[in-house]
């Protein structure tokens, strides 16, 4: 009577019960669940004919298109593992990942084929499948995706594969900074339970229309690639993040749910169309990737009517391990208090396991909102380890607990709030300064569009905070005015001692700030760069 826990079974269910329901919208193209099921099955057969077997690895470098969504199911139902690639990485990093992952085949969008062309002769691939893009030329000479599907006989039976819930489903690589990227091994079971958390805590329903603003390659779209199918909802694909287009889609496609980093929220609320768009659907939006400033949540809810749901996790945890549970008693609080609460990472989700904040000796911090410790977790969604890297696995998982590297406090109600990444914490004259706390103050300044706070060397204090800001158009605030503003809002030792104005801040494909690149200018040759 045992049935393996695998999110692949949800596609079977969706095809069975919602065959004529719209499954995927990708620009002008639409597919019902029956059509989506047929395409993914055909992909499986074509891959099998190309030699892909259970246990093999297939790398995929595609934006948020129906092709990418098809790959998650078509590859994995063969018992093979999918290796989603970040198309913003350098050719050098991509070469390392493809080789290190032991991928036998690559599926790539022609728009992002440039780096692959540069390294093609160095890759040990059996085949390359390309997704054609109008007006795009490539020298990869791969098999066209649609032609590849046609190699499989229509209605051909899928190969019979026994799925073990503890076998590898996806191999997701984290971006390297000063070291090589790490391959996070996620299983059918961990993906299933994370997606169950996604469904339950984000309130996914059959009638939901989900916009894929979050890159699907990033921790499998946080589980959205599976959860929406499980409910029989509709996937709306988005090739690139364009705030004006997103605001249009809210209304034209009746978007009810989306996910994204705080920087995506910032792009939406600050777009000129934001104040002109009356969003009737009041979409729910899950945000994570960096601690969002309370003022940003307040703007998103007031200007756009978004219902912000704060979640927290890491690629290594599939990724969800905390969410900011909303209680009825919070409804009576002021708008500012609501935003402050929603900025907390929150409590354990129903299916992930145990998460807590501990001191270096492993003892849990007091629930007083003051004692600082590191977030650790164990349970159903933690990775199997880093692929072919026992040393870094042992450094991350100690005594059965995964150490996140995030520093946090726990409030009396059990809600956890991140104060900083361990590497981003600023220790000035022996005092701890949370870079996210300072950023939260800066975001309240009317002239500040984006903010990043880092440490810089200081002869007297060892290190002090520096603010790097992107200002709103036509803003004329000075460095001294910013520092004075911060000193009026917080303890003087926490306020920035230097301010730099820039045109943009370096970010990952998911919108997470790359502070190590900002620190590198000031800490060359030091471990502080990491």
Q: What is the mean pLDDT of residues 27-48?
A: 97
DSSP β-bridge partners for residue 257: 210, 284
Is the model's pLDDT at 384 over the cut of 80?
yes
Domain over 9-157+164-193 is classified CATH 3.40.50.12780: yes
pLDDT, mean of residues 383-412 = 96
In this predicted structure, the answer to whether residue 184 has a pLDDT above a threshold of 70 is yes
Name the residue ranges covered by the structural domains of the chain: 9-157+164-193, 241-421, 426-529
CA distance 5 to 1: 13
Q: What's the confidence (pLDDT) of residue 459?
A: 86
Residues 345-372, mean pLDDT to the nearest whole number: 97
- Per-residue confidence band for 44, with pLDDT thresholds at 50, 70 and 90: very high
Query: Under CATH, domain 426-529 is a member of which superfamily?
Result: ANL, C-terminal domain (3.30.300.30)
**pLDDT tens digits, 269-326:** 999 999 886 688 889 999 997 778 888 999 999 999 999 999 999 999 999 999 999 9
Comparing 39-48, 243-252, 430-439, which segment has the lowest mean pLDDT?
Answer: 430-439
Average pLDDT of span 25-41: 97
Q: Is the dihedral of CA 339, 341, 347, 349 positive or negative?
A: negative
Instruction: Determine which helix (DSSP H) or strand (DSSP E) holds 439, and give its type and residue range.
Output: helix 435-442
Mean pLDDT of the chain: 93
Across residues 388-403, what is the average pLDDT?
97
Using 50, 70 and 90 to split pLDDT, how confident is the model at 408? very high
* DSSP assigned state of 314: -
Residue 290: the pLDDT is: 76
Q: What is the CA radius of gyration of the chain?
A: 23
Looking at domain 241-421, its CATH class is alpha beta
More confident residue, 154 or 208: 208
Which tokens is 214 given? 């979050």
Mean pLDDT to the nearest integer, 167-176: 90
- The whole-angstrom separation of Cα 253 and Cα 249 is 5
The mean per-residue pLDDT over the stretch 25-31 comes to 97
Residues of the chain with pLDDT > 70: what percent? 98
Q: How many CA atoms lie within 13 A of 496 on its CB side?
A: 27
For residue 70, the model assigns a pLDDT of: 98
Region 348-359 average pLDDT = 97
Grade residue 508 by pLDDT with cuts at 50, 70 and 90: confident
pLDDT attached to residue 178: 52
pLDDT, tens digit (0-9, with 9 covering 90-100), for 216-254: 999 999 999 999 999 999 999 999 999 999 999 999 999
Taking 70 as the threshold, does the pLDDT of residue 94 lie above it? yes
**One fold for 241-421 and 426-529:** no
Structure-block tokens of residue 441? 């103050």
Residue 177 has pLDDT above 60, yes or no: no
pLDDT reported for residue 81? 98
**Helix residue ranges per DSSP H, 306-351:** 335-342
Tens digit of each residue's pLDDT (9 = 90 or more) over 481-507: 999 999 999 989 999 999 999 999 998
For the chain, how far is it from start to end, CA to CA, in angstroms? 49
Cα three-residue angle 287-442-415, rounded to 5 degrees: 45
Contacts 24+ apart (CB under 8 A), 23-28: 23/229, 23/234, 23/235, 24/66, 24/69, 24/234, 24/235, 24/236, 24/237, 25/234, 25/235, 25/236, 25/237, 25/253, 26/65, 26/66, 26/236, 26/237, 27/237, 27/239
Report whether 295 contacts 448 (CB < 8 A).
no
What is the predicted pLDDT for the residue at 529?
61
157 vs 78, residue with greater confidence? 78
User: Binning pLDDT at 50, 70 and 90, where does residue 138 land?
Assistant: confident
Mean pLDDT value across residues 501-523: 89
């Amino acid at each position: 009577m045992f049935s393996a826990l695998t999110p692949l079974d949800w596609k079977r269910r969706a095809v069975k019960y919602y065959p004529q329901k719209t499954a995927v919208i990708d620009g002008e193209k639409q597919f019902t669940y029956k059509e989506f099921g047929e395409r993914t099955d055909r992909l499986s057969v074509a891959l099998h004919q190309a030699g892909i077997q259970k246990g093999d690895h297939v790398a995929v470098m595609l934006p948020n298109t129906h092709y990418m969504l098809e790959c998650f199911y078509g590859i994995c139902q063969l018992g093979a593992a999918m290796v989603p690639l970040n198309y913003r990485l350098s050719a050098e990093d991509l070469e390392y990942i493809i080789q290190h992952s032991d991928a036998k085949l690559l599926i790539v969008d022609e728009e992002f084929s440039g780096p692959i062309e540069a390294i093609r002769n160095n890759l040990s691939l059996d085949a390359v499948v390309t997704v054609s893009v109008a007006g795009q030329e490539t020298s990869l000479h791969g098999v066209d995706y649609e032609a590849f599907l046609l190699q499989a006989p229509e209605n051909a039976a899928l190969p019979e594969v026994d799925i073990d819930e503890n076998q590898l489903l996806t191999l997701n690589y984290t971006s390297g900074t000063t070291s090589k990227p790490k391959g996070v091994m996620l299983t059918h079971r961990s993906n299933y339970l994370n997606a169950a958390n996604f469904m339950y805590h984000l309130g996914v329903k059959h009638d939901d229309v989900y916009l894929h603003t979050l890159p699907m390659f990033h921790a499998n779209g946080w589980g959205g690639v599976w959860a929406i199918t499980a409910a029989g909802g509709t996937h709306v694909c988005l090739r690139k993040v364009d705030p004006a287009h997103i605001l249009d889609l809210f209304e034209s496609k009746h978007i009810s749910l989306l996910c994204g980093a705080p920087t995506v929220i910032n792009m939406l609320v600050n777009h000129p169309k934001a104040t002109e768009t009356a969003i009737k659907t009041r979409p729910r939006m899950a945000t994570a990737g960096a601690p969002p400033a309370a003022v940003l949540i307040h703007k998103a809810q007031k200007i756009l009517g978004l219902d912000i749901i704060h979640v927290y996790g890491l690629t290594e945890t599939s990724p969800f391990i905390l969410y900011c549970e909303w209680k009825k008693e919070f409804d009576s609080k002021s708008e500012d208090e609501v935003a402050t609460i929603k900025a907390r990472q929150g409590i354990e989700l129903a299916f992930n396991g145990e998460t807590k904040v501990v001191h270096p000796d492993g003892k849990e911090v007091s629930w007083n909102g003051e004692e600082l410790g590191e977030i650790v977790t164990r349970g159903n969604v933690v990775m199997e380890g880093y692929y072919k890297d026992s040393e870094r696995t042992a450094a991350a998982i100690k005594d059965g607990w995964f150490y996140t590297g995030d520093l946090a406090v726990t409030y009396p109600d059990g809600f956890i709030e991140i104060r900083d990444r361990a590497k981003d914490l600023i220790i000035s004259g022996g005092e701890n300064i949370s870079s996210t706390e300072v950023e939260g103050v800066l975001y309240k300044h009317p002239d500040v569009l984006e903010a990043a706070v880092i440490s810089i060397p200081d002869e007297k204090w060892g290190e002090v905070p520096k603010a790097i800001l992107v200002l709103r158009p036509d803003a004329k605030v000075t460095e001294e005015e910013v520092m004075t503003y911060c000193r009026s809002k917080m303890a003087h030792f926490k306020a920035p001692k230097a301010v730099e104005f820039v045109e943009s801040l370096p970010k990952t494909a998911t919108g997470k700030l790359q502070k190590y690149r900002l620190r590198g200018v000031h800490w060359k040759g030091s471990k502080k760069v990491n």
